[in-house]
Amino acid sequence: MTKIALFGATGTIGTRVLHEALRRGHEVTAVVRDPARFPDSAGGATAVVRGDVLDPASVAEAAAGHEVVVSAFGPGSGDPAALVTAARSLIGGVRSLGTDAPAPRVVVVGGAGSLRTPGGPMVWDEAGVPAPVLALMHAHGDALDFLRTVPVEEVRWTCLSPAAQIAPGERTGTYRLGLDGLVVDEEGRSRISTEDFAVALVDEIERDAHAGRRFTVAH
Ligand SMILES: NC(=O)c1ccc[n+]([C@@H]2O[C@H](COP(=O)([O-])OP(=O)(O)OC[C@H]3O[C@@H](n4cnc5c(N)ncnc54)[C@H](OP(=O)(O)O)[C@@H]3O)[C@@H](O)[C@H]2O)c1
């Protein structure tokens, strides 16, 4: 059993991570901006606390006493650059806990834009990506660039990028792994259900297999 603090527990991905972690017997503290709005459908968390992933002091408060901090934060229609602020805040908050106890690991949900396609270009360089999506992709890329400057001896961080397409669907419990390359199927499509993405994320929590790395999953 792992003690997990989860930012973004009310979101599309965070809700699945919450349910997947709970069904495997982990303790999950849902860290939400407004506990009064925490929907019953996303409930079942071991505890619900107020927190702001953009504030390092709030991250530290929420992270204390947990072994892993997960961020499924998304800026919604707000400024995509908040993804970089969140990455800095997560690392800064965990670092500020000091060295008396082992620092919690940090697992961040990333983006697919910075993955390299089998044909060569990055996903974000492919034709036809709408401007708002492009901005999110590059902000995720900037957040990953920051994480890559963090020595794992200080904070054991991991970034998990979804497939090019992620949507709620079936939990099959299976997926294929990649590192910095987009994982595609035999027809060249890169897809994962949100449920199986959550399986992969909780597998990473349990296995600690990609410290200091980004990895990706797809069907
Ligand atoms: N879904 C996709 O298609 C997709 C694809 C690739 C990558 N991603 C990335 O995956 C991440 C999660 O995506 P999603 O679709 O699950 O997002 P989402 O449904 O919009 O959920 C975003 C979550 O972030 C929380 N949040 C917002 N501001 C916060 C703050 N200051 N402090 C703490 N929590 C805050 C929201 O909580 P509230 O309830 O307080 O609003 C919500 O739980 C995003 O970074 C997104 O870019 C998503």
Residue 38 in 3-state DSSP?
Answer: coil
Q: Return d(Cα 4, Cα 159) in angstroms, integer.
A: 16
CATH label, 3-218, candidates 3.50.80.10, 3.10.129.10, 3.40.30.10, 3.40.50.720: 3.40.50.720
CA of 139 relative to ligand 1 center, distance in Å: 13
Closest atom of ligand 1 relative to the 162 alpha carbon: 6
What pLDDT shows up at residue 6? 98
Residue 10 CA, ligand 1 centroid: distance in Å: 8
Q: Is the CB of 17 under 6 A from ligand 1?
A: no
pLDDT reading at 2 higher than 70? yes
How far away, in angstroms, is 129 Cα from ligand 1 center?
A: 20
Q: To the nearest whole percent, how much of the chain has pLDDT over 90?
A: 90
pLDDT tens for 79-131 read 999 999 999 999 999 999 988 888 999 999 999 999 999 988 999 999 899 99
pLDDT for residue 44: 77
Regarding the beta carbon of 141 and ligand 1, being less than 6 Å apart is answered no
Based on the number of CB atoms within 10 Å of its own CB, is 46 exposed (0-12), middle (13-18) or buried (19 or more)? middle
Confirm if 158 and 215 have CB atoms less than 8 A apart.
yes
Residue 99: predicted pLDDT: 81
* Mean pLDDT within 189-196: 98
The Å distance, Cα 186 to ligand 1 centre, comes to 30
In a mutational test of the pocket of ligand 1, which residue from 6, 10, 197 has the highest number of ligand atoms less than 8 Å from its CB? 10
Q: Of 8-22, 26-40, 174-188, give the lowest mean pLDDT range.
A: 26-40
Q: Average pLDDT of 137-165?
A: 97
Q: Would the CB of 11 count as within 6 Å of ligand 1?
A: yes
Average pLDDT in the 184-189 region? 95
Mean of pLDDT over the chain: 95
Say whether 215 sits in a helix, a strand or coil.
Answer: strand
Q: Which residue has the tokens 């901006």?
A: 33
- Per-residue pLDDT at 135: 97
For residues 6 and 26, what is the distance between their CA atoms, to the nearest angstrom? 12
Query: Residue ranges of the domains in the chain?
Result: 3-218
What gap in Å lies between CA 76 and CA 6, rounded to an integer? 17
Query: Which two structure tokens, joined as six digits, stand for 103?
Result: 């620092």
pLDDT tens-digit readout, 37-52? 876 655 677 889 999 9
CA distance 116 to 104: 30
